Amino acid sequence: MADDATGETNTLDLRKNSEWSFREMLRFAIVAALIVIPIRFFIAEPYLVRQTSMVPTFLNNDYLVVEKISYRFSEPERGDVIIFRSPIENRRTLIKRIVGLPGETIEIDGNRTVIKYSGGSATLKEPYVKNFAANFSGTYTLKADEYFMMGDNRAGSYDSRSWGPIERKDIIGRPFLRLYHFDFIGFWPGMRILPESYPRTSNLEK
């Protein structure tokens, strides 16, 4: 009888421990979700580069952390590398560099890109581009909320030259940290390199 009572007690203890463990796991999952979900939607999210269109600035399989806060308080600038929603493929996100700002006209002729903005024009200097599309030419005029995107690997990038500009609402954020490849770990990868001969932000006439 004593053995039976002991066995029943042990079984009850196991059940209590199991119930306690389940409750703790559930509580942990809820707390984690309450922390992670807002961060993912409003502050930062991971991004895996699955393309070679940004070589040599970003390599295929680079693992990035994308911050979403900056553009809530400031406007995107020319030269910024950003993550954005594809204008032609649902649920796909892309990484490119901002070349043209709202209201500007972009003229491309091989390795020469001219930006025409309110008050003047300038030839874009792009030391980060190593592979131009020598035979490409085109002219594009942007609306008040549009940005012209191109990959640093111009000869191997599918970008605004093909599918047009993106809208402000399509921008997700910009790379804040590169965690992989290990040889290139660092903050603010792909920082813009700008000459002083043209404006950093949009120059729309008011």
The residues annotated with a catalytic role in the active site are 53, 96
Amino acid identity at 77: E
- State how far the Cα of 118 lies from the Cα of 138, in Å rounded to an integer: 20
Amino acid identity at 190: G
Q: Is the dihedral of CA 157, 42, 192, 50 positive or negative?
A: negative
Count of other CB atoms within 10 angstroms of residue 144: 9
61: helix, coil or strand?
A: coil
Tokens representing residue 99 in the block: 């070349």
- State how far the Cα of 24 lies from the Cα of 80, in Å rounded to an integer: 44
132: helix, coil or strand?
A: coil
